[in-house]
Amino acid sequence: MSSTPIQLSRCGKTFADGTRALAPLDLEIAAGETVVLLGPSGCGKTTLLRLIAGLESPDPGGTVRFDGEDVTALPIERRAVGMVFQSYALFPNMSVRDNVAYGLKVRRLPKGEIAARTEEMLEMMAIAPLAGRRVHQLSGGQRQRVALARAIAVRPRVLLLDEPLAALDAVLRDRLRVEIDALLRRLAITAVYVTHDQAEAMMLGDRIVVMSGGRIEQAGTAREIYRAPATPFVAGFVGTVSRVADLAGGEALLRPEDIEICAVAEGRIAATVETAHFLGGRCQVTLSGPDGGRLIAEAPPDAAPPVGARVGLRWRDAAVIRIPLMEAAQ
């Protein structure tokens, strides 16, 4: 499968009722790259995906390019994209096999080729034994596999996934996430994946685009976004942060794993333990700091301090996340 880079330029979206879903933004997605659009509901991530898909058109002035070709005016049916929906959107009046074959039939490929490619997809997604079943006879995980098979059977230029795992339970979600990751690497297809789940984003994305209020807050690798968040929003949305006083001005933030609980005398600041939750491999401890602010730290699973205890907190200077004042003011 050849890979297609995507270039979005000045893409904004204002709906007919005047709601501005997206502020004009630029985004380049490299060929074969998996980009995850991450953000809370209403942040514009789905609208951005639909602009790329051709289900929405950008406000005048915005352009969408696939491999340099301007596709802004093309509707979705002529963009050669594969799309996977949260609701699966499988055709209930067709069997699993007919669902997977649908795009190939629409393209009027020779019968033999349709059959061969459909079987290949069924095998690849491990749903061959279900080929004759109706959609309503499948479990949620099986449905999502069929939806993926149907989307990639047509060998799309880009694969677009709109919260594909949101409707599944936690165990199944973890398993399918691993499968989707392996699939995307294997196909080396350009993929855009929308989610509000940061764990999903960090695992799947070559790059994560964090969005809020219709704009891009930060785009970068999982490590960059976690270690060097550009805005307080990103710091708070991806992982947990605690705010500590910073003499240099601006925000000084700490990840829970970087805050060490120690004796009051050894700590940089003193705090009172409010709650301690055993989470298996570690304990999450909530504390109230000197100025009354809430701090979240981690403790070894069997060594959490008792609730109400006065403890000291210390951290390495290198662990402090500093967000420049100008960015923080936004």
Partner 1 sequence: MSNRDLPRLVLLAVPAGAFALAFFLVPLARLAAAAAGGPKGLAAYASVVTEPRHFESMMATLALAVGVTAATLVLATVAGLFLSRHAFPGRGALVAVLTLPLAFPGVVVGFLVIMLGGRQGVIGGLTEALGAGRLVFAYSLAGLFVGYLYFSIPRVILTVMASAEKLDPALEEAARSLGASRARVLKDVVLPGLAPGLTAAGAICFATAMGAFGTAFALAANIEVLPMTIYTEFTLNANIAAAGALSLVLGAVTWAALYAARSLAGPPVAAAA
The answer to the question of residue 261 lying near partner 1 (CB under 8 A) is no
Q: Which two tokens stand for residue 266?
A: 């050894």
Residue placing its CB nearer to partner 1 in the complex, 150 or 177 = 150
> Nearest approach, Cβ of 314 to partner 1 (angstroms)?
51
Q: Of 48, 95, 52, 4, which Cα lies nearest the Cα of 217? A: 48
The answer to the question of residue 135 lying near partner 1 (CB under 8 A) is no
Q: Which two tokens stand for residue 1?
A: 């499968």
Q: Which of 83, 131, 148, 230 binds partner 1 (CB under 8 A)?
A: 83
Beta bridge partner(s), residue 65 = 7, 70
Beta strands 215-220 and 20-29: pairing type?
A: unpaired
d(CA 33, CA 94): 33
Residue placing its CB nearer to partner 1 in the complex, 94 or 203 = 94
Residue placing its CB nearer to partner 1 in the complex, 145 or 150 = 150
- Stretch 105-124: interaction string toward partner 1, x if CB under 8 A: -xx-----------------
Q: Which of 40, 75, 249, 290 binds partner 1 (CB under 8 A)?
A: 75
153 CB-contact burial (10 Å; exposed 0-12 / middle 13-18 / buried 19+):
buried
18 CB-contact burial (10 Å; exposed 0-12 / middle 13-18 / buried 19+):
exposed
> Nearest approach, Cβ of 21 to partner 1 (angstroms)?
17
Give the footprint of partner 1 on residues 160-219 (CB under 8 A): 160
Q: Which of 74, 89, 203, 228 binds partner 1 (CB under 8 A)?
A: 89
> Within 10 Å of residue 59's Cβ, how many Cβ atoms?
18
> Nearest approach, Cβ of 318 to partner 1 (angstroms)?
47
Q: Of 105, 98, 22, 6, which Cα lies nearest the Cα of 57? A: 22
> Nearest approach, Cβ of 42 to partner 1 (angstroms)?
19
Name the one range near partner 1 by CB under 8 A: 33-41, 82-90, 170-178, 285-293.
82-90
State the Cα angle at 99 between 95 and 103, rounded to 5°. Answer: 150
Q: By the criterion CB under 8 A, which residues form the site for partner 1?
A: 53, 55, 75-78, 80-83, 85-87, 89-93, 102-103, 106-107, 147, 150-151, 154, 160
